[in-house]
Structure 1
Amino acid sequence: MQDFDIISTSQGSLWRLRPQGEIDIDARPAVHRALGGRPATAHDLDIDMADVSFMDVVGLQLMAHVDTDARSHGLGVTFRGWQRQPRYLLAVAGDFIRVGAALHSPFTRDAA
C-alpha cells in the first residue's frame, strides 16, 4: 500500500490540490486536513489526480465530499489527470447511477 498525501498550493484565487498515493479509508484524515486549509482568497479549486494510482469506493466518496464541500463554499471545482483505475471506477459508478435513475424513473414500469 502506498502512503497518501495531498500537496496544497494557492496562487491568487486558484487553489490547487494534488493527491498522491492511494485514496481509500486511510486517506480520510489527510483529505479533511486539506479541506481545512482552504485559502480565504480561493474562488476555484483544481484537483490534479495524476499521482493517484488507486481509489476504492471510500475514495470515491471522499472525492465527492471534496467537490460538495468546495462548491458549498462557492468554489468552482475541476478534477483532472485521472489515471486508469480511478477513471474506471468513475465509469462503473456512473453506470450504476444511470441504472439506478432509470429504475426509479416514472417512465419505468414493471412488466405486467
Structure 2
Amino acid sequence: MNITTTVDGTSARISPCGEIDFDSLPPLRAAVDALPAQVTDLQWDLTHTPFMDVAGLHLLFTPTTGCGPEPRATVTGLRTQPLFLLLMAADVNPALFDLSRLLPDIPPADLRPALP
C-alpha cells in the first residue's frame, strides 16, 4: 500500500492507495501518529481505496494510541464497497458508527431513514 500524507497548517490529508485490511492498518495508524501536533483536521481521501474490511472501521472509528488529542476526521472519495460497509455498520449500530462525524453532508442517525 502506498500512503501519501499532505499537511497544510492545521489540516492534513492521508491518501492510501490500495485495500484497507488488517495488514495495511499498522502503516495507516503510523501515518496518523506521525502527524504534527498542530493538526486538528484530518481528511481521509479514499479515492484510490477500492476495498475496505472491518479494519477500515477500526481505522475510522477507533482512536489511535498516540499522544495528544485526536484530529477531527472526515472522509472523501468513497467508492462503492467502502461506502456500503460504512452504511451497513451505521445501520447495525448508529451510535457507534456515526457517519455524520465522518461525512459532514450526512445528517445524524436520528434524522435519517433506516436502510431498506
* Aligned Cα root-mean-square deviation (Å): 2.1
When you count helix as a share of all residues, which structure comes out higher? 1
Alignment check: 8 A CA contact 1:21 1:51 kept: yes
SS in 1 for 2:4: strand
Identity %: 35
- Alpha-carbon distance in 1 for matches of 2:23, 2:53: 11
Alignment correspondent of 2:85: 89
1:34–1:80: structure 2 CA closer, same or farther, 3 Å change rule?
same
SS in 2 for 1:53: coil
SS in 2 for 1:16: strand
- Deviation at residue 74 of structure 1 after TM alignment: 5.0
Q: What is the aligned counterpart of 2:74 among 71, 78, 91?
A: 78
Aligned length: 93
Q: Please, what TM-score do these two structures have when normalized by structure 2?
A: 0.69
1:40–1:51: structure 2 CA closer, same or farther, 3 Å change rule?
same
Q: Which sections of structure 2, spanning at least 5 residues, go unmatched?
A: 95-116
Q: What is the aligned counterpart of 2:21 among 6, 24, 29?
A: 24
Larger Rg: 1
Q: What is the aligned counterpart of 2:5 among 8, 24, 28?
A: 8
Alignment correspondent of 1:43: 40
One-letter code of the match for 2:17?
Q
- Alpha-carbon distance in 2 for matches of 1:59, 1:41: 24
- Alpha-carbon distance in 2 for matches of 1:36, 1:74: 9
SS in 1 for 2:36: coil
SS in 2 for 1:78: strand
Q: Please, what TM-score do these two structures have when normalized by structure 1?
A: 0.72
One-letter code of the match for 1:58?
A
When you count strand as a share of all residues, which structure comes out higher? 1
